[in-house]
Structure 1
Amino acid sequence: MKASEVLRRYAAGDRDFRRTSLRGQHFKGQDLSGADFSEADIRGTNFTHANLKGTNFTNAKAGLQKRWVLIQLLLVFLLAALAGVLQGYFSWWISGSIVTIWEYFHLPTEAEYQVSLAILIDNIIYLTIYLIVIVTTIAMFTRQGFTSKAFASVAGAGAGAGASVLLGFYYSRQALKGDEKFALLRAFGIAVAALGGTSFCGANLTDANFTNAMLRSTNFQATRQQTTLLNGVYWHNANQLDRARLGDSILSNSAVRELLVTRNGYKKSYIDANLRGANLNGVNLEAANLTWADLSQATLHQANLKDANLREVLAIGTDFTAAYLTGACLEGWNIDHTTTLKAVDCQYIFLLEHPNQLGNRERRPHEPDQVFAPGDFAKLYTKMINVVQVLLRNGMNRTAFAAAFQQLMSENPDITYDSIQAVERQGDDALVTLSVSETANKAEISRTLRESYENQVRQLEAKVEELHQLRAADLKEVALAQKSQIFNQLVGGNAMNESIDRSQNINVDGNFTITATNSVVNLGEISGTVSNAIHQLQQSSQPETVQLAAWLDELQGLIEAEPNLKDDDKVEALEQVGTLAKAGENPQDSTLKKLSNTAVKILKGTIAALPDTAKLAEACSKLLPLISGALGL
């Protein structure tokens, strides 16, 4: 069928071109998306820059036409003649090829036809690579010129020629076996064998199907104008794909190519493999190692990933619909809101590849006898996707954080105080978890909060340093005055009764007080302030408010008596109790309610670092829910 007829029928809405012969036709730049070319003969067909999205090439025959096989053979014969050496080898090869050509054109069966074609093309690849070795040998010889040195080499010419035959044959075999040492020779041989073959250069083959297709001597390389799009292509049981020109596509990796053709990666290694856009639907990747692999835009519908290692894989835009993920390691995997986890079949996963110091791989769910209910895995990771976590070094300065968070809210209207999900201690640091929308720029939110917080901390430290300098100057002045007074008394002068009050109290942003006489906040003073606030609640006529005061009083006592808390941590915790007490006095104040939510999260973060046996940790697990309920949080 001619190309014009195909295009006419396609324009009329016909998509069925099964079992048609399209040998040597030209469809460069044409739109044939969705067409069915299954079992078609497309040898020598030019699909360069064509739109073949979703096109079906099942059982199609691509590659070389008969005349191009002869042209390639003639080209090889010409090179052989120019080489001018090893006539015996050429006689053997030519005689064998003549017999093969005879059988190629006269064998009655399709099976014998394919065998002859395979032998012919293999001979072309072998001889092309072999001739590179021969020509190199001749060049090295002729560089000597017709000198006495050259004539002296003639005696060894026979032995050198024989060695070249063996080397050429060895190199050819190793190159076609995929030996990396001969990759350049192999690429050259395949390039020559693809001359005149089916061309998909620069074509859009997204979601095309090449199941059982014959692809020897087919060209999938990119052109200067555009790349060849191979996203979602189905390669199951494609024949002789390793003898096609694959360019820089994911198919250039032999392990990836084998996976896409066989659909079986059981216990195999794909470390750092490029699987971007690959069609992995239904593949068996049980116990496979995919560490650092790029799975972006790939589809893994119903793929078997049981016990697979997905540590630090890149899975942006990846579709895991109905995939089996039980027992998989998801340590540090990279996903976002474009990652599809719909209907994932997963009973449990691990967050660590190797056990930690306690021999724990961080199983989820934690309990060994518990498993995820249907849909739980997707809910868990969908929630985890829509969060931003910011690590604040050396603990959290409450004043600095309040100012930084206020700036963050002004720049991101979708973020409110309710966005604060948790504040947890991570050693000496504090981990703040914020909930964000799916479309939020997480990197920008994290950067804004962190940089603003660090800037606020620097400003506070500068103010503290200024106060220290003022205090040092004041102390020096007092010392000089006392020295002068003592001197006057010794010489009989009048005693100087000078009362100097140099204490300075500076309030920073209304929440943090620094005094020149004591830059560390007095734990006793804060405790008294909190006690006064709780006492106000106790005077209420409302039984609920009185009960709240009792819980807060108990919490205050436990915090002050907790031996595992440092004084700074006690001060911070008591500040939160004071906030809760103020909210109890004004239950309708929405601002105080939001601050109370934050206060509860900070208290939870504080006790998270305590041993499980600590009285405060045990009591808070009961008191905080009661207090939250009383305040309507």
Structure 2
Amino acid sequence: MANRTNAKEVLRRYAAGERDFCRFNLRGQSFKNADLSGADFSEADIRGTNFSEATLCGANFSRAKAGLQRRWVVGLLAIAFVLATMAGILTFYAGSTVSNIFGTSSFNQIFGWCGLTVTFAFIMCTLRRGIAEEPGDGAVRVAAAVVIAFAGFGIVAGAVPGAVALALAVSGAVAVAVAVGGAVAITGAVGEAVAITGAAGGAVAITGAAGGAVTVGVGGAINIIGAHAFSFAVTFAGAYVGRRAVESPDDRGRWIRNLALLIGSTSGTNFLKADLTNANFTAATLGSTSFNAAVITRTCWKETRKLHLASSGLSILRNIDVSALLVSGNGYNQDFKYADLRGANLVGANLEGANLKGANLADATLKAANLKDANLTSSQCIGVDFTSAYLTGACLEAWNIDPTTTLTNVDCQFVFLLEHPNHLGSRERRPHDPSATFAPGDFGKLYTEIMDAVQILIRDGINPDAFLAAFGKLMAEHPEITLDSIQSIAKKGTDALVTLAVTPDTDKAKVERDFLKAYKVGLEAGKNQARLESARESIRDIKEIISILTPANNPVVKLIAQAGAKAMNNSSDQSPTIKVSGDAIGNVIGDNATISGTIAKSIQQLPANDDRQADLKNLLEELSKAIASEEISDTDKADLLAQLQILVGASQEPETPAAKEQSGRALRTMSALAKNLPTATQLVTECRRLLPEIAKLLGLSLNLG
């Protein structure tokens, strides 16, 4: 390890073009707000270093040593010792109430037995279920029920000391749990021993004080021994909860875990709000490190040590199972159903047989990952890199991909399009023939064709006149779309699904919106013979295509219809690609001033129950005003307002998967629309500022640059 180097020297060298800071001693230095993208800090000592709000994209921290400096370890352990000592005192007094069972008074004995029963129920439930985060849950709820039961039997007076003993025992156990949890997060078993010793020492100290204050007879000695034993029982119950909260993957005592890790990371290495996109922490030691609010998209955590003892805030690292997967790369046959894996770096991971149903994998990288027989049903795979991944036998029912999903060189012999067999016992294998397999490159080609398509769902069947007019207008506004672009028209109950082939750079949302807007106008305006005759002249052959919707001749055209709309991704009736909001369409048709007013009212109705919701509401208001006040073409303004209306609607329940998908698409579309505006317009600047902030508040990891 090199001699300690100060932050100014590192920044000077970086500005001069140097990137190699391997093995530097940077303990306690501050790089707050610095841009150190691509810097090599491998094997460096970064204990106590402040990287908060720094830009560290692509930085290399492999085998670096992060965490607390030694003096802070000693200080925090001292705090844990003091907290545990106070906990020991509380539990001793709780034990004093219980020890009344050894007294001579019947009334006092009732007190003691009530306290013992209640606290025993608390201790047993604590060991089984932990100390719950919500009031009225877990051990406290059970113990309170016992108190009520005593009162119901007429021993109302006994409930009072029971409640007192419970309050003291709960306070002591929680204090011990936090102290032990924080100590474990700092130094492991050594810290745990220090905290437990402090709790025991607190009880012993009170015992000695009581003995020195009065002459203790036999009965008093028995009382003190009973209180002492009770104190130790509650102390070790709290210690067990503290250790389990930090080390185990379940949610019992989650708030204790979060508080303990927050204490443990105090004055440790700090990556608060840092941008760690594509950073590499391979084999680094990360205990007592803060990653709160950091951007960790595609950050590599492979073989890191003590990552579960880092404070991770609301990132994907908060799930211990996910954290373990990122470290080991082994998810063989494991359950990650509906897991948050956004931006996860799973390069080369073994996910054979893993259940990823409903998992959010947006912007993750699974290069060369083994996904044999994995269940990807309804998974969100927007922006995922599957380059050279192995997908043979995977279930892809209703998985969500788009042109940002990379399928280059995917190794796949066959897939299934249904999670469970249908009434015929088939899981819709592709290729259909059980003896057939995809040739090299076929899988990527198959799904590339699907992604380079726009699917438009027309409700309640097709009105031929409105369809002709709308498609004619669509061809006029989008010259790249012709009659040959129609891949299929499939009947879906009473609805019709139209699939159009488009180029990769086509704004699919705009194509869908323009067609549905014109189609609805055609339905509402009725038959305008002059306009329809002009449209029929240029696209008369479309009637032939529409005729396939008749019951006598309704084949499923080409690949997407064969696979079934739900099975072949974006063909799902539940997919945002084809799920058209009637309100959104109607608003697009109205004049822009009316639309702006409607959106403003909708924003005012959004909840503002906390700071995040209030901030989101304010940002949406700013964006709405910026669009309404900008002097741009009516078409551009209508396009932006339509996407804003979708975004506002999705913000009503932003945590649902469907809302997140709609919000993501709307934000991407607005970003693309803004880029096409004249650069001198104020709206371009406002979009660059507001859209990333809105995405962050919605919990979306998007590249809107």
Instruction: Specify the TM-score bucket, using the shorter chain as the normaliser.
Output: 0.5 to 0.7
SS of the equivalent of 2:454 reads: strand
Q: Amino acid of the residue matched to residue 8 of structure 1?
A: R
For residues 3-18 of structure 1, the aligned pairs below 5 Å read 3=6, 4-18=8-22
Matched, 1:2 2:5: yes
Distance, in Å, in 2 between the alignment partners of 1:592 and 1:115 is: 76
Using the TM superposition, give the Cα deviation of residue 279 of structure 1 relative to its aligned residue in structure 2, in angstroms: 0.8
| Larger Rg, first or second structure (1 or 2) | 1
* Cα 1:595/1:361, change in 2 over 3 Å: farther
**Which amino acid in the other structure matches residue 198 of structure 1?**
T
Q: Residues 125 and 39 from structure 1, CA distance in 2 versus in 1: closer, same or farther, beyond 3 angstroms?
A: farther
Task: Give the counterpart letter for 1:595 in structure 2.
Answer: R
User: In 2, Cα distance between the equivalents of 1:123 and 1:174?
Assistant: 15
Partner of 1:15, secondary structure, is coil
Report which stretch shifted further, 599-608 or 291-300: 599-608
Structure 1 segment 345-364 matched on structure 2, within 5 A: 345-364=411-430
Deviation readout 1:556-594 (Å, 9 max, x if unpaired): xxxxxxxxxxxxxxxxxxxxxxxxxxxxxxxxxx98795
Distance 1:206 1:126 in 2: 40
Structural mapping, 1:11-50, within 5 Å: 11-50=15-54
Of residues 304, 310, 318 in structure 2, which corresponds to 1:238? 304
Amino acid at match of 2:365: T
Q: What amino acid maps onto 2:319 in structure 1?
A: N
Q: CA deviation at 1:121?
A: 4.0
Q: Trace 1:470-619 onto structure 2 (pairs within 5 A).
A: 595-596=540-541, 598-599=542-543, 601-602=545-546, 606=550, 609=553
Structure 1 pair 48–78 and aligned structure 2 pair: CA distance change class (3 A): same
In structure 2, relative to structure 1, the CA distance for the partners of 1:387 and 1:377 (3 Å cut) is same
Aligned to 2:240: 170
**Amino acid corresponding to residue 5 of structure 2 in structure 1:** K
Cα separation, 2, equivalents of 1:419 and 1:126: 73
Structure 2 residue ranges without an equivalent (≥5):
93-183, 207-219, 557-705
Pair 2,239 (structure 1): closer, same or farther in 2 beyond 3 Å: same
Query: In structure 2, do the counterparts of structure 1 residues 49 and 591 end up closer, same or farther at CA, with 3 Å as the change threshold?
Result: same
Q: Distance in 1 between matches of 2:336 and 2:552?
A: 39
Alpha-carbon distance between aligned partners in 1 of 2:304 and 2:231, rounded to the nearest angstrom: 40
1:188 maps onto 2:259 in alignment: yes
Conserved? CA contact 2:363–2:381, under 8 Å: yes
1:252-291 residue pairs with structure 2 within 5 A? 252-291=318-357
* Cα distance in structure 2, aligned partners of 1:189 and 1:73: 12
Aligned to 1:342: 408
Q: Is the 8 A contact 2:365 2:385 kept in 1?
A: yes
Contact 1:232 1:278 in 2 (8 A): yes
CA distance in 2, matches of 1:611, 1:208: 51
Counterparts of 1:79-94 in structure 2 under 5 Å?
Answer: 79-80=83-84, 85=89
Number of matched residues? 443
Q: Which amino acid aligns with 1:285?
A: L
Instruction: Return the letter of the residue paired with 2:252.
Output: K
SS in 1 for 2:388: coil
Query: Which of 186, 190, 213 in structure 2 is aligned with 1:120?
Result: 190
- C-alpha contact (below 8 Å) 2:186/2:288 kept by paired residues: no
Deviations 1:218-263 (A, max 9, x none): 11113xxxxx111111111111111111111111011211110110
Task: Answer yes or no: is the 8 Å Cα contact 1:424–1:606 preserved in 2.
Answer: no
Q: Secondary structure at the match of 2:252?
A: helix
Q: Secondary structure at the match of 2:350?
A: coil
Partners of 2:186 and 2:318 in 1: CA distance: 27
C-alpha contact (below 8 Å) 1:73/1:124 kept by paired residues: yes
**Which secondary structure state, in structure 1, belongs to the residue aligned with residue 261 of structure 2?**
helix
Please give the alpha-carbon distance, in whole angstroms, between the structure 2 residues aligned to 1:260 and 1:126. 33
Instruction: Choose from 313, 325, 336 the match for 2:379.
Output: 313
2:260 counterpart letter in structure 1? G
Q: Give the aligned partner of residue 204 of structure 1.
A: 275
Within 1, Cα distance between the matches of 2:507 and 2:186? 60
Is the Cα contact below 8 Å between 1:270 and 1:291 reproduced in 2?
yes
With 378-387 and 392-401 compared, the bigger mean Cα shift is at 392-401
Native 8 Å contact 1:422 1:432 kept in 2: yes
CA-CA distance at 1:602 after TM superposition:
4.0
**Alpha-carbon separation, structure 1, partners of 2:194 and 2:478:** 65
Contact 1:126 1:173 in 2 (8 A): no
Asked if the contact 1:30–1:49 (Cα under 8 Å) also holds between the matched residues in 2, the reply is yes
Distance in structure 1 (CA, Å) of the matches to 2:523 and 2:74: 79
Show structure 1 runs of 5+ residues with no match.
89-113, 138-150, 223-227, 464-506, 513-589, 613-633
Partners of 1:374 and 1:83 in 2: CA distance: 66
Letter matched to residue 442 of structure 1 = K
2:491 to 421, 425, 443: 425
Q: Deviations over 1:109-151 (max 9, x none)?
A: xxxxx999543344567789x79x99xx9xxxxxxxxxxxxx9
The 8 Å contact of residues 237 and 262 in structure 1, kept in 2 or not, is answered as yes
Match of 1:397 in 2: 463
Letter in 1 for 2:489: V
Q: 1:358 to 1:400 in 2, by over 3 A?
A: same
Judging changes above 3 Å, is the alpha-carbon distance between structure 1 residues 392 and 56 closer, same or farther for their aligned structure 2 residues? closer
Q: CA RMSD in A?
A: 3.7
Residues 1:14 and 1:125: Cα distance change in structure 2 (over 3 Å): farther
SS in 1 for 2:496: strand
Partners of 2:366 and 2:456 lie apart in 1 by: 32
Q: 2-side partners of 1:248 and 1:411: how far apart?
A: 44
Which digits, 9 at most, give the CA deviation of each residue in 1:307-339, with x for residues without a partner? 111111111111111111112111111111111
Deviations 1:356-381 (A, max 9, x none): 22222222222222222222222211
Question: Which of 284, 287, 291 is residue 216 of structure 1 equivalent to?
Answer: 287
8 Å contact from structure 1 (residues 267, 286) kept in 2: yes
